[in-house]
Amino acid sequence: MSVIDLERIQGASSEVVRDINRRIVLNLIRTRQPISRADLARTSGLQRSTISLIVEELVDEHWVIEGPTGRLPRGRRPTFLRLNDERVIIGIDIRPTQTTIALANVNGKFTSQEVIRTPADPELAVDALIGRIQALIHACRGQKIDGIGISLPGRVNADHLVFAPNLKWRDFDIRGPIAKAAGLEVELENAANACLLATVWFGRMESFRNLVQVTVSEGIGTGILINGQLARGLNNMAGEFGHVPLDPTGPPCGCGSRGCWEVFGSNRAAIRYFHESTSHAGDLSFLDLLSFADQGDTLAVKALEKMAHYLGRGMRMIVAGLAPERIVITGDLTRSWRLFGPIIEGEVRNQVLPGGCPPLLIPADDDGMSRLRGTVALVLQKHFGASREILA
Ligand SMILES: [Zn+2]
Query: pLDDT by residue (tens digit) across 93-137?
Result: 999 999 999 999 998 899 999 999 999 999 999 999 999 999 999
- CA distances for 65 relative to 41, 83, 106, 143, 230, angstroms: 17, 6, 12, 14, 32
Q: How far is the CA of 259 from the centre of ligand 1 (A)?
A: 7
Among candidates 334, 328, 269, which has minimal Cα distance to 302? 269
Query: pLDDT by residue (tens digit) across 164-219?
Result: 888 888 888 889 999 999 999 999 999 999 999 998 888 777 778 899 999 999 99
Can you give the pLDDT at residue 75? 65
User: What sign does the CA torsion over 167, 170, 171, 172 have?
Assistant: negative
Residue 89 pLDDT class (50, 70, 90 cuts): very high
Q: How far is the CA of 213 from the centre of ligand 1 (A)?
A: 18
Helix (H, G, I), strand (E, B) or coil at 188: strand
Q: How far is the CA of 266 from the centre of ligand 1 (A)?
A: 11
Assess contact for 66 and 59: CB atoms under 8 A: yes
Helix (H, G, I), strand (E, B) or coil at 24: helix
Q: Which residue type is seen at 82?
A: R
Q: How far is the CA of 167 from the centre of ligand 1 (A)?
A: 13
Q: Is a pLDDT exceeding 90 seen at residue 159?
A: no
- Cα(345)–Cα(339) distance, rounded to whole angstroms? 11
More confident residue, 82 or 161: 82
- Cα(11)–Cα(7) distance, rounded to whole angstroms? 11
What is the DSSP track for 165-210? TTT-PPS-B-HHHHHHHHTS-EEEEEHHHHHHHHHHHHSS-TT-SS
- Cα(322)–Cα(300) distance, rounded to whole angstroms? 33
Q: How far is the CA of 269 from the centre of ligand 1 (A)?
A: 13
More confident residue, 142 or 328: 328
Output the pTM of the full model: 0.86
CB atoms within 10 A of CB 181: 16
Q: How far is the CA of 240 from the centre of ligand 1 (A)?
A: 9
Q: Are strands 326-331 and 360-363 parallel, antiparallel or unpaired?
A: parallel
Q: How far is the CA of 261 from the centre of ligand 1 (A)?
A: 7
Q: How far is the CA of 77 from the centre of ligand 1 (A)?
A: 61
- Cα(262)–Cα(216) distance, rounded to whole angstroms? 8
Q: How far is the CA of 329 from the centre of ligand 1 (A)?
A: 19
More confident residue, 348 or 6: 348
Q: How far is the CA of 333 from the centre of ligand 1 (A)?
A: 20
More confident residue, 17 or 244: 244
Q: Is a pLDDT exceeding 50 seen at residue 15?
A: yes
Q: How far is the CA of 299 from the centre of ligand 1 (A)?
A: 26
Query: pLDDT by residue (tens digit) across 248-279?
Result: 999 999 999 999 999 999 999 999 999 999 87
Q: Which residue type is seen at 340?
A: F
Mean pLDDT of the chain: 89
Burial class (CB in 10 A: 0-12, 13-18, 19+), 92: buried
Can you give the pLDDT at residue 76? 67
Q: How far is the CA of 154 from the centre of ligand 1 (A)?
A: 12
The number of residues in the chain equals 392
